[in-house]
């Protein structure tokens, strides 16, 4: 079942009654920012990290949000209650520079803010068996750390992955891997995890930040050090992370198996630690692999 509402300022509106402004800068310019927050068993996971990042993105694009962090916490909690979210779900929230006559210059209007809640089960089969990925040139702009609405290159890369029967596209700049179209990516070699440093060229993922914590707790070395597409082919394991994909094993890249073609030991350890950290009562490890 899907639960959906839209939050405009402090009003809850049924999705069928939503009137999206015609001259909305999010529509006309992609002039806005967003977040996707995971909900497990009716409770937010990593909500503080997501709200902090929303405010960092807003500052980076000179967008004044119409609320404090504390007020946003309250509003998002109310959104779950209105939608009666008890199970696994996601909350999408978006802030734009508002509605005004089309002009590249910032208008003197209030920001628009929207949010909705939608049921979203965990991708158990993919988490258990792993997924395929392809590699694609990273043709995005130089400020990927901002979680903006300008996602056309990501969309095209993700579509190419789908058309090739894969789950995700691993992006690279001159053969140096940055991240995926909608997730962060990691390789494991000789028991050590490597992932691209937190520069402007990647999104500083909330689950990525938790992977670093979990790896430290498990005494697994993690280096924020760039690697190449050739390194991917020589990796013992490859995995990705995001709020909706969690910690997902990648078992095939560009049609070639990653090592044995099965999810690896380090990835499984991180998956188990993630489930414990999120307070999940149903484990993927109860499933037959």
Tell me the catalytic residues: 147
Give CA–CA dist 54/65, Å, rounded: 9
Cα-to-chain-centroid distance, residue 199: 17
How many Cβ atoms from other residues are within 10 Å of residue 166's Cβ? 21
């Amino acid at each position: 079942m899907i639960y959906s509402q839209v939050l405009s300022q402090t009003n809850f509106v049924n999705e069928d009654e939503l009137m999206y402004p015609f001259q909305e800068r999010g529509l006309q310019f992609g002039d806005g920012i967003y977040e996707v927050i995971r909900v497990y068993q009716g409770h937010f996971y990593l909500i503080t990290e997501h709200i902090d990042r929303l405010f960092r993105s807003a500052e980076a694009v000179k967008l004044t949000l119409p609320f404090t962090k504390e007020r946003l916490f309250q509003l998002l909690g109310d959104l779950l209650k209105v939608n009666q979210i008890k199970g696994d779900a996601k909350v999408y929230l978006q802030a734009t520079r508002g509605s005004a006559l089309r002009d590249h210059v910032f208008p003197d209007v209030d920001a628009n803010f929207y949010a909705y809640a939608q049921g979203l089960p965990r991708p158990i089969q993919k988490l258990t068996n792993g997924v395929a990925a392809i590699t694609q040139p990273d043709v995005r702009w130089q400020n990927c750390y901002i979680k903006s609405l300008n996602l056309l290159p990501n969309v095209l890369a993700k579509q190419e992955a789908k058309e090739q029967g894969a789950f995700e596209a691993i992006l690279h700049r001159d053969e140096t891997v940055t991240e995926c179209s909608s997730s962060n990516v990691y390789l494991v070699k000789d028991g050590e995890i490597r992932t691209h440093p937190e520069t402007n060229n990647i999104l500083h993922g909330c689950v990525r930040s938790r992977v670093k914590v979990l790896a430290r707790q498990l005494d697994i070395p993690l280096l924020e050090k760039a690697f190449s597409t050739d390194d991917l082919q020589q990796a013992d394991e490859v995995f990705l992370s995001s709020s909706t994909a969690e910690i997902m094993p990648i078992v095939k890249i560009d049609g070639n198996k990653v090592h044995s073609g099965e999810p690896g030991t380090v990835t499984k350890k991180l998956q188990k630690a993630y489930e414990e950290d999120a307070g999940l009562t149903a484990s993927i490890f109860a499933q037959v692999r």
